[in-house]
Amino acid sequence: MPQLTDDAAAALAEAYLSDPQRHTSQDVVRADRLVRQTATILATISRYVSTSSQEEAKAEFPFVLDPSGEPNGPAGMNKKDGELFYYARIALASVERLFDLIVSVHEVPARNYDPMAFVVAAVVTALAHEYSHGLYGHKEKVETNISGSRFLEELDADRRGGVGSLCLFVDRELRRMMGDFFNLKDPMDFLEAAMVGHSLLAFWLAGGREDLYAGPTMRCFMYYDGLRSIALRERFADLSQINLARTNADRIVVKIAKFVEGGDRLIKIREDHLAAETGYKKTFKKNLYKRTDETVAASPFWIAFSGRSQATWDDDNERHGIVIRQPTLRELRADGVKVPFKASLLETICRLVCRWR
């Protein structure tokens, strides 16, 4: 199946923007630009995943960019029964509706980047969530005696969504787009922007089925936990830098909440992060690890990780198909990025042997 080209993505964006049933933003000019830019970013990501799916598992994993003015849900992921054919979907209407949450925010306090970067981070997190259902075996109908398995899979996909959001800065082409489109160029700015985007996504998705999805505070924490984990694993940032970005994201949310309808609930989502982390560790973490071991073992994309135990889950089961075309540290520095870490010999060897899939 042909991949989604930039030209095809642009045509779909125009089809959405001209749909008479489109949800029209209060700021049409900025919304139109954001929809076009996000379509290009999503098309780029989709080609990475499609290519790596073919290489890893000889599987088809096309991406559907839905131009409907009134779509059937913001996003989704499905698999053809009995076939290695998976497809993820994002509705372009989701981009505009997320933008409308911050339409009155014209600048990020004390920052030089465009607040529309929050929306892109949110949408890419949602896409990474959907890809996770395919990549991590959630669609393989793996039998289990673990109660609430579908809820755990959604929680796992939320965490993977946070992992996948890092692609916006570790991939050279995506990082260039984020700089050109939104002036987002600094690694620390990216971390805080991603965290604010996670908050907006959880806020916007609140009210879903309680038997399938966690509440907005827990979902926001899971996005954050995934981002934190992959940032530490890839030495993109250390824990003190991540904590600083988290504090900055809290402050940004407080400052922009007055421009957001229901902004007090947005602030509450971030204020309750620590309680969500405690609840996750006490209530869900053990069974989530067990369920992930089951689904990963059944996934055609991750055969090499079959049989991994819970004890090694954080190290060996932390990858995401979106974070697949990462630049080396030398490439990052050649692009003028101030990389906040030093390369180790072990990391260099692992990159050569494992390709950091």
Quickly count: other Cβ atoms within 10 Å of residue 95's Cβ.
27
Who wins on pLDDT, 250 or 299?
Answer: 250
Kindly report, residue by residue over 229-285, the tens digit of the pLDDT. Answer: 999 988 899 999 999 999 999 999 999 999 999 999 999 999 998 899 999 999 999
Assess if residue 185 is contained within a domain: yes
DSSP state of 60: B
211 vs 129 pLDDT, higher one? 129
Dig out the tokens for 79 from the structure: 């698999």
Q: Is residue 288 in a domain?
A: yes
The verdict on residue 48 lying in a domain is: no
Confidence of residue 141 (pLDDT cuts 50, 70, 90): confident
- First-to-final CA distance of the chain: 23
Residue 349: CB atoms within 10 A of its CB come to: 10
Predicted confidence (pLDDT) at residue 57 exceeds the cutoff of 90 = no
Q: Looking at the domain assignment, is residue 4 inside a domain?
A: no
Domain containing 244 equals 93-354
Q: Which of 273, 321, 11, 310 has its CA nearest to residue 171? A: 321
SS3 assignment, position 137: coil
Domain count for the chain: 1
102/307: higher pLDDT: 102
Q: Quick one: which of 51, 70, 71 has its CA closest to 1?
A: 51
Residue 303 lies in a domain: yes
The secondary element (H helix, E strand) that includes residue 17 is: helix 6-17
Summarised one tens digit per residue, pLDDT across range 96-137 is 999 999 999 999 988 999 999 999 999 999 999 999 999 889
Beta bridge partners of 36: none
**Helix ranges restricted to H, 280-354:** 285-298, 313-316, 329-334, 345-354
pLDDT digits (tens, 9 = 90+) for 67-87: 998 888 899 999 998 899 999
Contact present, 13 and 90 (Cβ < 8 Å): no
What's the pTM value of the predicted model, to 2 decimals?
0.87
14 is a domain residue: no
Q: Is 252 inside a domain boundary?
A: yes
On the question of pLDDT at 324 being above 60, the answer is no
Q: Does 7 fall in a domain?
A: no
Give yes or no for residue 349 having a pLDDT over 70: no
78: helix, strand or coil = strand
